């Protein structure tokens, strides 16, 4: 896994931020479950950000909800946002394209949290598992074509302090909902 270089933003101009949050009810702020930043190589065009957010109620509960939002920022802005999160505060990211900003969603406070990085910062990983390189093809292979190491996106993941994880991971439908959007099984 490569370590950040001083000229990182030349190779990776754009970043996709995936954010999953949990809300117990409307009286408390959302809590970060999971966040990731995927740095896109300069040979890829800027992707469009997501529209609004996706949500999934937990089981038959009326209040408990899991939310997902995908935003696109410059790599520099994404890293600055991502690394500024601390136990005293974090906000939702604000897209770089002014037309993609949604005032009711972006720049809003999340509940304070401790964080766990995967892998340890500033190491970045590749978005696909390394065993895909040796088992290309077949129904279980979601990414059969991987670029060369220098042209692949890089990713870093950050988990919240684990509060409410048990509530969310106990709901198989919520886990399936998040897995399709995060490209990661939160139950693992």
Query: pLDDT digits over 32-42, tens only?
Result: 888 888 899 98
Tell me which range, 68-77, 112-121, 175-184, is most confidently predicted by mean pLDDT.
Answer: 68-77
pLDDT at 181 over 50: yes
pLDDT at 2 over 70: no
Asked if residue 1 is part of any domain, the answer here is no
CA–CA distance, 70 with 15 (Å, rounded to integer)? 10
Residue 129: CB partners within 8 Å, gap ≥ 6? none
Asked if residue 188 is part of any domain, the answer here is no
Question: Which pair of structure tokens corresponds to residue 93?
Answer: 């990211």
What is the distance of C-alpha 36 from the center of its chain? Answer: 3
Determine the average pLDDT of the residues in 60-87: 88
Task: Give the domain range for residue 53.
Answer: 8-130+147-182
CA–CA distance, 68 with 127 (Å, rounded to integer)? 19
State pLDDT tens for residues 10-57: 788 999 999 999 998 888 889 888 888 889 998 999 999 888 999 999
Residue 23 backbone dihedrals phi, psi, to 5 degrees: -125, 120
- Per-residue pLDDT, 86: 80
State pLDDT tens for residues 155-166: 877 777 777 778
Question: Which pair of structure tokens corresponds to residue 80?
Answer: 């600055």
Arithmetic mean of pLDDT over the chain: 80
pLDDT at 167 over 90: no
Asked if residue 14 is part of any domain, the answer here is yes
Helices (H), the chain: 8-11, 75-84, 165-169, 172-182
Asked if residue 155 is part of any domain, the answer here is yes
- Per-residue pLDDT, 7: 67
Asked if residue 136 is part of any domain, the answer here is no
Asked if residue 111 is part of any domain, the answer here is yes
State pLDDT tens for residues 81-121: 888 888 888 899 999 999 999 999 999 999 878 878 878 87
Which uninterrupted H or E stretch holds 55?
Answer: strand 54-57
Nearest to 54 by CA among 105, 107, 108: 105
- Confidence class for position 185, pLDDT limits 50, 70, 90: confident
- Per-residue pLDDT, 123: 81
Name the domain count of the chain.
1
CA–CA distance, 12 with 54 (Å, rounded to integer)? 27
State pLDDT tens for residues 116-140: 887 887 788 776 544 444 444 444 4
């Amino acid at each position: 896994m490569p370590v950040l270089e001083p000229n990182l933003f030349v190779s990776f101009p754009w970043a996709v931020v995936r954010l999953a949050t949990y809300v117990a009810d409307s009286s408390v702020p959302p809590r970060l479950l999971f966040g990731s930043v995927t740095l896109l190589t300069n040979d890829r065009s800027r992707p469009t950000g997501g529209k609004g957010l996706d949500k999934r109620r937990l089981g038959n509960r009326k209040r408990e909800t899991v939310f997902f939002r995908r935003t696109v920022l410059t790599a520099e802005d994404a890293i600055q946002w991502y690394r500024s999160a601390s136990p005293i505060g974090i906000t939702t990211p604000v897209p770089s394209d002014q037309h993609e900003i949604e005032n009711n969603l972006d720049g809003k406070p999340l509940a304070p949290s401790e964080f766990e990085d995967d892998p340890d910062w500033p190491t970045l990983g590749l978005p696909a598992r390394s065993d895909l390189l040796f088992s290309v093809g077949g129904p279980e292979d979601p990414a059969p074509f991987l670029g060369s190491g220098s042209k692949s996106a890089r990713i870093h993941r950050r988990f919240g302090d684990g509060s409410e994880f048990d509530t969310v991971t106990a709901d198989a439908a919520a886990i399936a909902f998040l897995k399709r959007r995060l490209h990661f099984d939160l139950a693992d």
